């Protein structure tokens, strides 16, 4: 009955779920493209059927800012729940611990078990390194480049795998305790009501002094000495104490606790409202407006060309970005100056999440005087929506 109330099986289930999602996501495709990938050659972020191009990167920065705000807010409320339940470093360490436990069942000689463990840790590091690359290169393309001997991909894969192996296997929880920058921020983010693992000082006389809570701690601290920066909130000590105190029919002395004050306090309500407002603003910016874009620039060279009959021509380059996963047709027109006309074909097709640039010639028919100089407005229509961009037109 007590085993069901242990945190460890839940944490392990979380880690396995997290690992499955992280490794599986690069294989998921939406609209023929990776569901989530940063496409370096095209400088775009593929995000579940939408494409964020370099010119939309202020949205990406806003998303990062929103992520940091949520992360800080959750840390103030829930302490190091990230470290104990979600951190990839913790997940790798826990997966390795599970594998070490499975090896023990075979009762192998120590040196063989050690070799098998490190071989599995290296294989896991290589898989993690490949997974990280898959968020930039599709898996099939990455594997093809590995086989064909691309020095960049091979080198990156090996160096990254070595770092993962070093961090998770050789440093393990020492990384959490001495290196991780997030751990260093804890002191500044915790307040009296932050969720933490703590020893119940009011019941110290009930402690059996078995020392199991300190023995199982992966970062080597004794929670009976109070909250310490080394604590990654893994709840191993809670489970251990529950095992010991359960035999005496008393509640564990080590537990999750919100401290003396209320979980819901004015600061948390204000922060939650601020984050919700920021998220709404981000959503409005990210998902409103047409899903295509246009830039207009003048082509290099003379300001205008003069034809034999006295007409004036200005040349432009019009670049159209299709941000959807399907091919689309657009119609280009001009407005703002009724003496001007767009010459040639004014429809263009742009592939899924693609880009197309066309040459546009704007003509001011003879007699075209200086009064024709001014602004010309390019209008792009696509799927019932329209966007416009202004450009300068030069007459004689
Ligand atoms: S003190 Fe407890 S919760 Fe903190 S790291 Fe050690 S075992 Fe995990
Ligand atoms: S595991 Fe529980 S009972 Fe044992 S020493 Fe730690 S706090 Fe005391």
Assign 3-class secondary structure to 255-274. EEECCCCCCCCHHHHHHHHH
pLDDT attached to residue 126 = 95
Task: Indicate if the pLDDT at residue 296 is higher than 80.
Answer: yes
Q: Regarding predicted confidence, which is higher, 33 or 362? A: 362
Q: Whose CA is nearest to atom 8 of ligand 1?
A: 234
Asked if residue 254 has pLDDT above 90, the reply is yes
Q: Is 269 a residue whose pLDDT tops 90? A: no
* Residue boundaries of the structural domains of the chain: 3-194, 292-393
pLDDT at residue 1 greater than cutoff 50:
no
pLDDT of residue 315: 93
What is the pLDDT of the chain when averaged over all its residues?
Answer: 87
- Its pTM stands at 0.72
Give the position, in ligand 1's atom list, of the atom nearest the Cα of 197.
3
From the list 253, 147, 244, the residue with the least C-alpha distance to 200 is 253
> Residue 238 CA: which ligand 1 atom is closest?
2
Q: Is the pLDDT of residue 288 over 80?
A: no
What residue's CA is closest to ligand 1, atom 5? 231
Degrees to nearest 5, angle at CA 152 with 151 and 158:
85
CA of 256 to the centre of ligand 1 (A): 11
CATH number of 292-393: 2.60.40.10
Q: What pLDDT, on the 0 to 100 scale, is given for residue 263? A: 64
CA-based nearest residue to 73, from 230, 265, 347, 208: 265
pLDDT of 238 above 90: yes
């Amino acid at each position: 009955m007590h085993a069901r109330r242990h945190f460890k099986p839940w944490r392990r289930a979380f880690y396995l779920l997290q690992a499955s999602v992280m490794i599986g996501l690069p294989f998921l495709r939406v609209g023929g493209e990776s569901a989530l990938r940063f496409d370096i050659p095209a400088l775009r972020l593929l995000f579940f059927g939408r494409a964020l191009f370099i010119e939309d990167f202020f949205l990406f920065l806003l998303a990062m800012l929103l992520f940091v705000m949520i992360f800080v807010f959750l840390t103030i409320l829930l302490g190091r729940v990230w470290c104990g339940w979600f951190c990839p470093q913790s997940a790798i360490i826990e997966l390795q611990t599970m594998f070490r436990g499975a090896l023990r069942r075979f009762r192998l000689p120590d040196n063989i078990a050690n070799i098998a463990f490190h071989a599995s840790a290296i294989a896991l590091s290589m898989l993690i390194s490949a997974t990280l690359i898959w968020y930039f290169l599709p898996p099939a393309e990455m594997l093809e480049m590995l086989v064909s001997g691309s020095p960049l991909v091979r080198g990156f894969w090996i160096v990254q795998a070595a770092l993962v192996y070093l961090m998770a296997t050789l440093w393990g929880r020492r990384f959490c305790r001495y290196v991780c920058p997030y751990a260093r921020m804890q002191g500044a983010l915790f307040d009296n009501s932050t969720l933490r693992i703590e020893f119940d000082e009011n019941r110290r006389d009930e402690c059996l002094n078995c020392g199991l809570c300190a023995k199982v701690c992966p970062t080597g601290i004794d929670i009976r000495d109070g909250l310490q920066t080394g604590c990654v909130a893994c709840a191993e000590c809670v489970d251990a104490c529950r095992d010991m105190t359960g035999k005496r029919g008393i509640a564990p002395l080590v537990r999750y606790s919100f401290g003396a004050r209320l979980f819901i306090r004015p600061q948390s309500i204000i922060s939650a409202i601020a984050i919700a407002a920021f998220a709404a603003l981000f959503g409005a910016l990210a998902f409103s407006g047409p899903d295509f874009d246009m830039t207009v620039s003048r082509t290099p060279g003379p300001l205008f060309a003069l034809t034999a009959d006295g007409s004036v021509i200005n040349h432009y380059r019009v670049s159209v970005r299709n941000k959807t996963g399907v091919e689309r047709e657009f119609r280009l027109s001009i407005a703002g100056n009724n003496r001007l006309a767009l010459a040639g074909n004014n429809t263009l097709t742009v592939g899924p999440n693609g880009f197309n640039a066309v040459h546009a010639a704007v003509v001011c028919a003879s007699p075209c005087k200086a009064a024709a100089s001014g602004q010309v407005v390019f209008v792009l229509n696509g799927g019932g929506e329209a966007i416009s961009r202004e450009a300068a037109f030069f007459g004689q």
